[in-house]
Structure 1
């Protein structure tokens, strides 16, 4: 009896293991399909999908261990799921000699329950269904990749917005044509393989080579391709008049027709995918970078370069400016990135530029821009970025501060003195004791604190003074009983808040806040006995202060204009009879209307809706409109080729079709724009505008 129970549990274990193994296999197939679709989409060898399957299958077997399931797990599952077993399924797996009387009774009842138990498969198929859903998603991904590959590109290719992305219309071929085999060979810069299609409508990359092989069901005498109603390309006979070949390099969009023994086909589209120039984005540094004293004199140039087909080269064009005024000298450098460009569509290039290696000194400036070139030799560049090194000598100079024309308070020079004392302390470090060095550094920190508090008053900050409790020794005036204003004054602060201080403009206040922040940092380093680390913050605070000083200057003209004195005896005595009002006459002829033929064609098309028969005069008007539509179709084939074919069907048919009329009218309405405003003389009212002024003042008057 025990053997039957063990057999049932073992059979359930094999079923559970089979579902788990199938789940791992399906997951591995899904991963291989995703790899296959990605490789197929990017025109890479798809054979790598096979090792991807085996690697993923090995990893899943290693992680999930589907073959390691034991009978004890199935017994525990039966105890949890089916109450009929009475939680005694695990006793069946214990040998009979190790069971007591009570366990033998429980084992017998559990075996009877197992013999009549039907375990459903849904408990074992949960992970299996998940793997099926993932495999279906992988199949959908492969299908979408196949569609993108058939179109001739992939969704990650940057294609400029144009009418290339519009769906191609259905084609109508001449009855003599049995089929066409159109081979498109993309140019070398696209790195794309050649493709073949059985349609006349053509979408190709700029510079691609198109080769036609047209098969006919009858022998022909003469055949050629007509491009944009201008260019003729003869079709060469290769098989007794039933196979014709031609080739052309596609560089411009337009349309073409197939001529067979003097009979023209309908227009077919020729759409060109333009090669977009590379896109260069400089992530760092900022457009203007200032290197303060104490900072490392180097700049890291990090640029992102993207192109639809590939980047072939990228260069940093740098210019170093040295000197001032008329003595400025420039020297150009050509720097290369650390990345080797091999035609990939995207690169993240970096270059660490050491400024002293370019002979840059304090006060010099570096101007650079990044220039990139794609595989089609198209170039693009970024804006100019500026990197300047702080000139500490100029920053510490007293020029302008001692001038009488620019008298400033004493504390505008205190930060400069702190910097000088800190540099002197660093020079004396080896000749003084550690205690004296720390004491002088701490004294500088106190000076920095006093200076910061002095500037903080301009922002509404209070002194760091702890006020003692306010006494209440004097008698209280009975009139102040329940005086809310006085009570609030005793327990609130009436001083200006830092956020509400109105001493400066918002921009000046923001820069002054940044100055206080740098002073805080400098004070911290000085209190930690690190004057060397405090110097960069002190220099930056001084630079911000000098910038505020320059902004506060006001300039007054040095000399004034003294007009010639007026002779009163000759005032208002001049003769004005020869002074006439200057007039300018100009004859303006209206420019010729560029779309007059299309406007005339609209009238004819509206008449055709009532009477579908064409007269000779109507044909001449529609022929003129057909010429303008042909020019538009040459520039934008996706929008106008269908209208051009409809116009030619209207001209060739005895009775016009309403669908063709609607197609042509929609294209004409898209072409014709609203007329612009023309110059005209403004009429003057009889009362010289008095009534208009009266009503204007009446509206502004108070009631």
Structure 2
């Protein structure tokens, strides 16, 4: 059974592909020898980096040329060559590449006749001839360039990046440096290379050096002050060495015959510990809501390189009251969600299953770690407390009093103004209900602050006020102590300056006696009959009448601010709040003037000794001499010696300064920079920028002297004559 012959169309396409392959090979035969020779020469002169770049460029040019030659051999070229070289096709080769179904009439008849002539293209060859002369020339030129690169004389001037032979005449010099930094795997940072020998890398990174020197020395090493040296080995025409960076350090390249090099610096970036932040709830102490059965705390952990996927949640549940408190501890493993450097950990806790009961606390704390290897860093986050108040604590008692007086530690008149302005700015971003709630809460703070200042005017309680505290009137002192975490302030000015005010309401307290006869058993009636009255400004304060009037106006302004805030009008409250702040400042100044007038007792001025120059009895004695700070005397002497001045300069005590840096390393901000600058000035004493840098570093390292009174300099002859004339 004979194989079926391919059609004329298939034979024509086969001839076209053969021609294209010939054109590509012909281009490569010309370009590859030239590329090889040029790359070898660049490798010899400029090094592997330049040679690789040149090779890529030449190969890209050769490929573009081959593609251009192949593209020229298209369908039009094929039809023209078939019509010119195949007479049996009768100049109808174009019909072979048309769709037979679209041909009609004479064209279809001619296509059928051509299909029967299967032997028309058997002996035909459309491949272009080899470019023999260009190929031979390219091979000869490439060989000549490669031979020139091989016999290039080693005594030629060495360029900055040129590879040199290790046995050249003369003192060795550094021609090229490469520093490769391989960070630890847990950081996820890629390896990088740089030509500079100063570097900043994560702690635990592997540092690799490749140093070329011409001519090559017999031995080379990297010397680290206070640590073992790294011996460099000669491999591949360069000197190579490696070490692990454990701490920031200085080092120097040393080789036989090599001039003394400057110190280089490696900065080790310490891996920071992870940071744990509370996302939910927004406070570290929260109270249970009525009917709450579950609680979902959410923590967020961030780290500079990566957070471990797992963490541990510590849970402590307290039960009981007073001294009969029991604590149950347990741990719960959690899995975080998020990317490598930021993960969130959350868990839903069943309050009944955890054993939380009224009067108890549930304390949760997240212990997270990073992915540092081999020893991860573990950090305990902030604790969050969920408190279930007891029924007794909600009705009254110490817990209730603490909750009522707690805002007194966080509010001041200036803070109320700031919060009111912030509330006005947030009006568009929050709802009406939220706006009204915040304004009402701010009004409650204003009321509590008003009552605190009212204590200085004899006011103690406010009947029916929101958030008011009824204080006992029988045993209360005439000057009630302020509930602050600082010492009690003697005046409202001091309380305002500390920004630590207690807030109490006293609305309508000034008019309590004008409201008519009190009811039977009322607090005012009992006080008037059986107690002592100290709720009037004159009986409860020691201020002068002007200060009491100023403080009373401030309380009235606070009442206007409170009224507007309670109504949800913070814009109307701001004028009253500013007025109250101004009056408080005025009371502060008046109080200080009043106290100064009563306590000052200055001696009379003796006008008979005026302009006489007699100082007997008016000078208390000479000031005590300041102790000499000999600790920084060495650094100060070198700093003065480094000052640029005309004429010869004195010797620099660099060895003593180096010892001073070692002795004071703990308190210096950057001792490595000082050590490197000292070494540079020692090796290059004529380098003015180096001296200026050392002087600048010394200025920042010296301790500032304490302020002192300078003695007056001795007068000259003219000054002495003037003083004698005065006497």
Asked whether the two chains share a fold, i.e. TM above 0.5, the reply is: no
* Higher Cα radius of gyration: 2
Could you state the TM-score of these two structures normalised by the residue count of structure 2? 0.40
**Larger relative contact order (Cα-Cα within 8 Å, sequence gap ≥ 6):** 1
Could you state the TM-score of these two structures normalised by the residue count of structure 1? 0.41
